[in-house]
Amino acid sequence: MKFTINRKYLSDKLTIVSRAISLYSPLPALAGICIEVKKDQIILTGSDSTISIQSTILPDEKNQLIIETEGSIIVESKYLLEIVRKMDFDTIYFELVDTTLLRISNQLGVFHLNGIESFTYPDLDFYKPKNHFVLSKKNLEEIYNQTAFACSEKDNRPVLTGINFRAAGSTLFCSATDTYRLARKQIHLNESRDFNITISQKALNDVVRSFEESETSDVDIYVDNKKIQFYFDGTLYQSNLLDGLFPDVERIIPQEFISFYQSDAQELVRAIDRTNFIRKDKVHLVRLECSTKEIRLKTRSSEIGDSDEVLSSALYTGEELAVTCNGKFMTDAIKALGGERVEIDFTGVLKPFRLTNPADDSALMVVVPVRSVD
**pLDDT for 239 beyond 90:** yes
- Domains recognised in the chain with CATH numbers: 2-120 (3.10.150.10), 134-222+238-249 (3.10.150.10), 259-367 (3.70.10.10)
Count Cβ atoms within 10 A of the Cβ of residue 280 and give its class: 0-12 exposed, 13-18 middle, 19 or more buried.
middle
The mean of the pLDDT values for the chain is 93
DSSP secondary structure letter of residue 348 = -
Residue 290 amino acid letter? C
Q: Rounded to two decimals, what is the model's pTM?
A: 0.90
DSSP states of 255-316: ---SEEEEEEHHHHHHHHHHTTT--BTTB-EEEEEE-SS-EEEEEEETTTEEEEEE-TT-EE
pLDDT, tens digit, for every residue of 22-64? 878 788 899 999 999 999 999 999 999 899 999 999 999 999 9
Higher pLDDT, 283 or 271: 271
Residues 126/236, Cβ–Cβ less than 8 Å: yes
| Alpha-carbon distance values, 221 to 211, 268, 290, 340 (Å) | 14, 38, 45, 32
Within 10 Å of residue 208's Cβ, how many Cβ atoms? 18
pLDDT of residue 154: 86
Quote the CA–CA distance of 80 and 23 in Å, as a whole number. Answer: 13
pLDDT, tens digit, for every residue of 79-132? 999 999 988 889 999 999 989 999 999 888 899 999 999 999 999 999 999 899
Selection from 361, 332, 348 nearest residue 176 by Cα: 332
**pLDDT for 373 beyond 50:** no
Task: Name the β-bridge partners of 288.
Answer: 297, 323
**pLDDT for 303 beyond 90:** no
